[in-house]
Amino acid sequence: MQERAPKGTRIAHIGIALESIAPQVAFLRELIGMEDTAVADSDGARITAFAAGESLVELLEPEGSDTPIGRFIARRGPGIHHICFGVDNLEEAMARCRAAGLRLVDEVPRIGAEGKPIAFIHPAATGGVLVELTEN
Amino acid sequence: MQERAPKGTRIAHIGIALESIAPQVAFLRELIGMEDTAVADSDGARITAFAAGESLVELLEPEGSDTPIGRFIARRGPGIHHICFGVDNLEEAMARCRAAGLRLVDEVPRIGAEGKPIAFIHPAATGGVLVELTEN
């Protein structure tokens, strides 16, 4: 029995790595009218999230230099850290990735900042771009 | 007279800078089922685009090293280059940004890869993140 109508693949959220989120918060909230939404902190980062249509924008502040976001900023500067695609069936998408030889960071789904199952794909498998998958 | 219902701010597209788009194309098209969509090349980059719900993912290949995307890759490696937010009224959003002291790259809207008016905001104004605005 199908409980939810399929939505198709969509952008679930964009994660932006920043040392200081204030300029981006002011821009998103006051200048282009995005609405605050609550998500849990995750992976050593404080997360401030905004809703934009069917997607979220997550501002990621490192809780220390030895965290994934802290290392990203040290290496590359502030910027867009990852993109998370929502798919209708996460386990099936992960199985297709595995069958195609893609390296997964998370071999089994874990619960992400939005409280839904997620899995990261290794950036070496997608041309250097860090991609996360979640279930719609 | 209002011709279109307001949609609210949303993610119009994500631009990803890549030297070689093949792994990302295979992932988006074959593994998570995104659909090809046509957009024009722009700003010295070849663009291959996919639709994901109300947003697009644009893969940006530099046409040379002395292009914005070529310089981004040389400096930071492949990765997510910019985020484009769709707003209901571009001129009003630009006026709010100007009034708040944000530096705009495009002082007047120009036509972007999707054939709609766009304007880039200088990354110094948004914490180091390159943001584009377009009209819904």
**Chain segment B66-92, per-residue pLDDT in tens:** 999 999 999 989 999 999 999 999 999
Q: Do A24 and B126 touch (CB under 8 A)?
A: yes
Chains A, B: CB pairs < 8 Å:
153
Task: Please give the pLDDT value at position A12.
Answer: 96
Given an 8 Å threshold on Cβ–Cβ distance, is B96 in contact with A127? no
Nearest to A8 by CA among B50, B52, B29, B10: B52
Report CB contact under 8 Å: A20, B102: no
Which percentage of chain A shows pLDDT scores above 90?
Answer: 81
What would the pLDDT profile of B2-38 be if each residue is shown by its tens digit?
A: 456 778 899 999 999 999 999 999 999 999 999 999 9
Assembly ipTM: 0.91
- Residue A61's pLDDT is 96
Longest dimension (CA), chain A: 48
Of all residues in chain A, what percent are helix, strand and coil, respectively (each to 5)?
A: 25, 35, 40
**Average pLDDT score over residue span B41-48:** 91
DSSP string spanning B8-59? -SEEEEEEEE-S--HHHHHIIIIIS-PEEE----BTTEEEEEEEETTEEEEE
Q: What is the mean predicted confidence (pLDDT) over A8-24?
A: 94
Indicate if the pLDDT at residue A65 is higher than 60: yes
Rounded to a whole number of angstroms, the CA Rg of chain A reads 15
pLDDT, mean of residues A100-124: 93
pLDDT score for B1 = 45
**Per-residue pLDDT band at B42 (split at 50, 70, 90):** confident
Compute the residue count for chain B: 136
Contact check, Cβ <8 Å, B76/A77: yes
CA pseudo-torsion sign B75, B37, A119, A14: positive
Q: Which residues in chain B have Cβ-Cβ distances shorter than 8 Å to A33?
A: 8-9, 87
- The number of beta carbons lying within 10 Å of the beta carbon of residue A43 is 15
pLDDT of residue A74: 94
pLDDT at A1: 45
| B77 contacts in chain A (CB < 8 Å) | 76, 128
Q: What is the pTM of this model?
A: 0.93
| Structure confidence at residue B113 (pLDDT) | 83
Mean model confidence pLDDT for chain A:
92
Would you say residue A2 has pLDDT above 60?
A: no
Among residues B40, B42, B41, B59, the alpha carbon closest in space to that of B50 is found at B59
| Beta-ladder partners of A48 | A59
